[in-house]
Amino acid sequence: MSGRNCVNVVVVLVVAVLATSSARAQQMVVGVDGCDILEMLVYTEVIEAGLRRSRPFGDPVYPGPGEVTNCSQTTRSVTAAFTAALRDMNIYVAWGLHRGNGGDYCLSHFLSQCYPNHNPYMPPPSTTERQFVTDSWSAISGAVRSTMATASGVDVSRFDQARLRFGIKSRLAMHRLAGEPADTGIWR
């Protein structure tokens, strides 16, 4: 094939590809992933609780009607957002059963088996910070676990954003009013 014929064949192929790509059906609209919503919710509530930890709980929250959202990687999403929020408050945690094997999120598919530990490579937290981590993790994990499927090993949550936010705020308020850390088994 001569050089001119090769150029003509390439031009015809390019035009054919462009013509078929413009005739495609409309692209599917993809909304925000439920795990992204869950991460934003957890991150926001932990940060807000950290800013308010010295003030009493007093802001009423009225959950309104909303859409139900699904997250298929609940444990990873919740623990990663919790870690990120604490890191932004200069508190460092790791996830794992053994010190030094932890990461930025829990590897288990069971949220009830995930406990934040002090990151051994960072300065130790103060007593107040330790209590805050314990209380906020207890509130977050308890509220999120109530939205998860009950089948063994299923890492799926189904939640209404306003109700979950209300559940987290309520649990955090209970811990603040009690004034004592929750017994969650963390900080070994």
Per domain, the residue ranges of the chain are 33-55+62-178
Number of H helices, E strands in the chain: 5, 4
| Angstrom distance (rounded) from CA 158 to CA 146 | 9
**pLDDT score recorded for residue 184:** 43
Q: What's the token pair of residue 1? A: 């094939």
CA distances from 110 to 106, 144, 145, 148 (A): 9, 11, 9, 10
152 has a pLDDT exceeding 90: no
> Are 94 and 116 within 8 A, CB to CB?
yes
Q: What is the pLDDT of residues 73-130, one digit of tens each?
A: 999 999 999 999 999 999 999 987 655 556 788 988 888 889 998 888 888 899 999 9
> Are 75 and 106 within 8 A, CB to CB?
yes
Q: What is the pLDDT of residues 129-148, one digit of tens each?
A: 999 999 999 999 999 999 98
Confidence of residue 67 (pLDDT cuts 50, 70, 90): confident
Backbone angles phi, psi at 108, to 5 degrees: -75, 155
Backbone angles phi, psi at 138, to 5 degrees: -60, -45
11 has a pLDDT exceeding 50: yes
Long-range contacts of 161-166 (CB under 8 A, 24+ apart): 161/37, 161/41, 161/66, 161/67, 161/69, 162/61, 162/63, 162/64, 162/65, 162/66, 163/63, 163/66, 164/38, 164/41, 165/41, 165/45, 165/61, 165/63, 166/61, 166/63
Q: What is the pLDDT of residues 17-29, one digit of tens each?
A: 555 555 444 443 3
Q: What is the pLDDT of residues 25-66, one digit of tens each?
A: 444 334 457 888 899 999 999 998 888 654 444 444 433 456
Where are the strands (E) in 26-184, listed by range? 68-71, 93-95, 116-118, 157-160
| Angstrom distance (rounded) from CA 168 to CA 141 | 9
